[in-house]
Structure 1
Amino acid sequence: MSTSEDVVVRPARVDDVDAVCAFGEAHVPPHYTPLIGADAARQQVTDWWRPEQIRAAVTAGQLLVAVAHDRIVGVAQHAREGVDVVIYKLYVDPSRRGQGLGPRLIEAVVASLPPDVARLLIEHFAGNARAGAFYEREGFAVERVDRSATGRPELDVVWRARVVPGRAGAGSVADV
């Protein structure tokens, strides 16, 4: 049985791009199809797991990977949005869930933040209740919900925020 102890979380490198894209192709559609439908799930890969998009994130230092035995088992992508940083991707191989890898990826993002960032945001589809519960456990409170133009509530985007302790300007999420 593998554990999170055999996993290294590190910044992604350009030579990881193909493996990150393959990870997305392998895990995103099966995860999202029952939640948002096959077409919307496939669109996630088409829109957000293209080599040029992943390469740009790697080059910008915005992508972290969890690697076990030379295989990517988790991905976290973040970007600066104004004064905050947003985690846009947080995925763990289903065989690795429940081993603490999601929290490790979040903490690796926090460790990589510039010192002036006091809040970390994350977004997920409303139809992904499991993600919502996980983010709630990790201290992310709902900030807003963006309704989907499709009118399908499962495609609404839930935005959550978490204060980064010890940072200038870090109050409670309710203070913002």
Structure 2
Amino acid sequence: MSGEESGSGTATERSVVVRQADGDDLTAVVEVGHRTWPVTYGPIAGDDYVAMGLAKWWTQEATIPAIRAGRVLVAEVDGEIVGMASVGPSEGHLILWKLYVLPSHQRDGLGARLLRAVIDKAQEDGYDELRLSYLAGNDGAGAFYEHFGFRETERESGGSGIPDSVWMARPLRTDEQEERQS
């Protein structure tokens, strides 16, 4: 999640849709990354980190497999994709790898809608926990995730002047769900 700016009008005043991405969304999904990463990570980790991340994680080639696997959600406002979230399995856990909203649409509740949709789908798919990481120094992201029940579990050294990755987790099963499964 990147820096905070207000958009023009709230998302509730406009037509908002959160849905699974398809192949037609590829360019717009990649564009969300290219428009959010410089303002998010430039001040925290520097321009070289931004350039590396865009080249590694925000290309069409890197994004196609996640879209094809049904692991990318998009947020549309009036038909324009302005946010995205991407999840994937890793070592038996579900990881929220990306959640970004264009700066002009932040504080409109779109990040919350995307995150709720990710949580709901993870619960439907039977996951017990959702994990994620953000770069230390991205205090807005940390506060956002804490608001949704995520708690820090560990810090991973970024090395070479890169801020640490702060790992967080959120349980997905309620006591009631666990009792029903017993």
TM-score when scaled to structure 2? 0.85
The one of the two structures with greater contact order (alpha-carbon pairs below 8 A, sep at least 6) is 2
For residues 159 and 43 of structure 2, the distance between their equivalents in structure 1, rounded to whole angstroms, comes to 20
Match 2:10 to one of 3, 9, 22: 3
For residues 123 and 146 of structure 1, the distance between their equivalents in structure 2, rounded to whole angstroms, comes to 9
Q: CA deviation at 1:155?
A: 2.2
For residues 76 and 97 of structure 1, the distance between their equivalents in structure 2, rounded to whole angstroms, comes to 14
3-state SS of paired residue (2:134)? strand
For residues 35 and 148 of structure 1, the distance between their equivalents in structure 2, rounded to whole angstroms, comes to 12
Q: CA deviation at 1:52?
A: 1.2
**Matched residues, number:** 167
3-state SS of paired residue (2:120)? helix
Q: Which residue of 1 aligns with 2:4?
A: none
Asked if residue 130 in structure 1 is aligned to residue 125 in structure 2, the reply is no
Q: Is the 8 A contact 2:35 2:102 kept in 1?
A: no
For residues 86 and 4 of structure 1, the distance between their equivalents in structure 2, rounded to whole angstroms, comes to 26
Pick closer, same or farther for the CA change 1:168–1:84 going to 2, 3 Å. Answer: farther
Q: 1:111-158, CA deviations, whole angstroms, 9 ceiling, x for partnerless residues?
A: 2224420101111011212111111111110000001131x2x52111
Q: Which portions of structure 1, spanning 4 or more consecutive aligned residues, are displaced by more than 3 angstroms? A: 165-169
Q: CA deviation at 1:81?
A: 2.1
Q: Which residue of 1 aligns with 2:116?
A: 107
For residues 28 and 130 of structure 2, the distance between their equivalents in structure 1, rounded to whole angstroms, comes to 26
Please tell me the residue identity of whatever aligns with 1:87: L
For residues 164 and 21 of structure 1, the distance between their equivalents in structure 2, rounded to whole angstroms, comes to 29
Q: Which residue of 2 aligns with 1:174?
A: none
Q: CA deviation at 1:168?
A: 4.1
**Sequence identity percentage:** 35
Structure 1: state its 5+ residue gaps.
170-176
Q: Which residue of 2 aligns with 1:97?
A: 106
Asked if residue 87 in structure 1 is aligned to residue 96 in structure 2, the reply is yes
Q: Is the 8 A contact 2:32 2:101 kept in 1?
A: no
Please say which of residues 102-111 and 78-87 is displaced more in the overlay. 78-87
Match 2:67 to one of 19, 40, 58: 58
For residues 68 and 21 of structure 2, the distance between their equivalents in structure 1, rounded to whole angstroms, comes to 9
Matches within 5 A, 1:30-69: 30-69=39-78
Please tell me the residue identity of whatever aligns with 2:86: Q
Q: Alpha carbon RMSD of aligned pairs, Å?
A: 1.7
Q: CA deviation at 1:59?
A: 0.4
Q: CA deviation at 1:2?
A: 2.9
Q: Is the 8 A contact 1:83 1:117 kept in 2?
A: no
